């Protein structure tokens, strides 16, 4: 095909200019990451020690995976408040099937893989439930996932009788404790999931429709796109990712704790938002949400090394959320002025 238009303009030359303009935008998490890194590297002893870096990677893994899922959901102009509860229920279901105590053993020897798969499937089912109610009944995602959060949290407590469930040592414990090339296996799982999600959003029609849903859902519908199906798949994926995060958390604490997921949904939403995913959908890249998850974990870890306890860490998390969002807004203004 000729690269000359009817008006004699060169198509390919213009393409490169446009690409340059589009690539100018980046969210606040990039400077924030380096600010937090430098700040604690200078102030907290051992912050950059190999052991602590491994610790940060290990602890950031569940949040990073949840942030990837939350990014997908938020790109469609949705939100998932039940993500934390899904983490809890996955742990409980898996632990009970592994033979957890307190009379909640569901009998039989299921091995390890089967309980893990059932745990993840439980999260997938709850994700599909969210997706169906949101896309077909057309209820706002906030309302639906708020309900699912309450139901799931309650179910987790009922299933375990309110007690933490333990199991006999098996290879599931190793996921959180094993290192490959000096990097925690759980972080390798994050990288694999990140590659898959990036591939999905940038190289497939599904990805284009995910971004499209956040901008003009009606246009997609009028063009024959099965919006309900795609939205349900997004919530299914989010459920799956919450399931994987739940397995990693369960592996790390070597037990099923019915309230372990509390607060994860807030952190995942914060990571996605600081990572530049718009609350009204259609804008952002899940990769930056992953970087934001790492930044949040570095912040809590650094504060902990400096002797600040959980209340201060929550305060720090809140502060980074507000600062990150403000910076995003400012960067948006600056970039849009430059482009125009």
Task: Supply the DSSP symbol for 4.
Answer: B
Query: Within positions 182 to 201, which residues make up the interface with another protein, using CB under 8 A?
Result: 199
Q: Which residues touch 193 (CB under 8 Å, ≥6 apart)?
A: 65, 68, 241, 244
Closest CA to 285 of 16, 28, 27: 27
Cβ distance to another protein smaller for residue 13 or 109: 13
Q: Does the footprint of another protein cover residue 333 (CB under 8 A)?
A: no
With CB under 8 A as the contact rule, the residue among 43, 154, 216, 310 that binds another protein is: 216
Query: Within positions 22 to 51, which residues make up the interface with another protein, using CB under 8 A?
Result: 22
Closest CA to 56 of 305, 240, 239: 305
* Pairwise CA distance, residues 256 & 192, whole Å: 25
With CB under 8 A as the contact rule, the residue among 220, 262, 305, 325 that binds another protein is: 220
Q: Does the footprint of another protein cover residue 203 (CB under 8 A)?
A: yes
Q: Does the footprint of another protein cover residue 142 (CB under 8 A)?
A: no
With CB under 8 A as the contact rule, the residue among 49, 154, 205, 326 that binds another protein is: 205
- Other CB atoms within 10 A of residue 11 CB: 11
Structure tokens at 278: 């718009």
- Other CB atoms within 10 A of residue 241 CB: 31
In the complex, the smallest distance separating the C-beta of residue 226 from another protein, rounded to whole angstroms, is 8
Q: Which residues touch 298 (CB under 8 Å, ≥6 apart)?
A: 33, 36, 37, 40, 56, 60
With CB under 8 A as the contact rule, the residue among 18, 50, 137, 181 that binds another protein is: 18
Q: Does the footprint of another protein cover residue 204 (CB under 8 A)?
A: yes
With CB under 8 A as the contact rule, the residue among 25, 55, 170, 215 that binds another protein is: 215
Angle formed by the axes of helices 227-253 and 83-97, nearest 10°: 60
With CB under 8 A as the contact rule, the residue among 223, 306, 315, 322 that binds another protein is: 223
Cβ distance to another protein smaller for residue 217 or 267: 217
Token pair 């995060």 is at which residue? 245
With CB under 8 A as the contact rule, the residue among 91, 214, 243, 261 that binds another protein is: 214
Please tell me the count of residues contacting another protein according to CB under 8 A: 32
* Pairwise CA distance, residues 337 & 332, whole Å: 9
Q: In degrees to the nearest 10, what's the CA dihedral of 110, 261, 76, 60?
A: -90
Q: Does the footprint of another protein cover residue 280 (CB under 8 A)?
A: no
In the complex, the smallest distance separating the C-beta of residue 25 from another protein, rounded to whole angstroms, is 11
Residue ranges binding another protein (CB under 8 A): 1, 5-7, 9, 11, 14-15, 17-19, 22, 199, 203-205, 208, 211-212, 214-216, 218-225, 282-283
């Amino acid at each position: 095909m000729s690269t000359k238009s009817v008006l004699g303009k060169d198509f390919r030359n213009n393409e490169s200019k446009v690409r340059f303009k589009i690539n100018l935008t980046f969210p606040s998490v990039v400077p924030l990451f380096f600010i937090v890194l430098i700040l604690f590297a200078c102030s907290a002893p051992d912050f950059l020690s190999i052991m602590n870096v491994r610790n940060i990677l290990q602890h950031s893994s569940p949040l990073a995976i949840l942030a990837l899922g939350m990014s997908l959901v938020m790109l469609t102009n949705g939100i998932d408040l039940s993500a934390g509860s899904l983490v809890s229920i996955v742990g409980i279901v898996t632990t009970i099937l592994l033979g957890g105590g307190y009379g909640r053993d569901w009998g039989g020897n299921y091995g390890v893989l089967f309980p893990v798969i059932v745990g993840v499937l439980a999260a997938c089912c709850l994700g599909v439930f969210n997706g169906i109610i949101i896309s077909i009944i057309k209820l706002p995602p906030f309302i639906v996932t708020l309900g699912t959060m309450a139901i799931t949290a309650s179910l987790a407590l009922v299933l375990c009788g309110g007690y933490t469930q333990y199991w006999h040592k098996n290879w599931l414990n190793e996921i959180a404790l094993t290192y490959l090339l000096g990097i925690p296996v759980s972080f390798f799982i994050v990288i694999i999931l990140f590659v898959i999600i990036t591939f999905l959003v940038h190289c497939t029609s599904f990805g284009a429709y995910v971004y499209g849903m956040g901008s003009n859902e009606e246009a997609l519908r009028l063009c024959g796109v099965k919006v309900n199906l795609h939205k349900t798949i997004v919530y299914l994926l989010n459920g799956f990712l919450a399931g994987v995060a739940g397995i990693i958390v369960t592996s790390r604490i070597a037990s099923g704790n019915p309230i372990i997921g509390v607060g994860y949904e807030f952190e995942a939403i914060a990571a996605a938002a600081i990572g530049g995913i718009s609350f009204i959908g259609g804008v952002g890249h899940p990769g930056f949400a992953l970087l934001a998850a790492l930044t949040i974990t570095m912040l809590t870890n650094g504060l902990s090394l400096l002797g600040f306890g959980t209340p201060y860490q929550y305060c720090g998390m809140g502060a980074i959320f507000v600062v990150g969002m403000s910076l995003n807004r400012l960067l948006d203004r600056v970039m849009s002025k430059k482009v125009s």
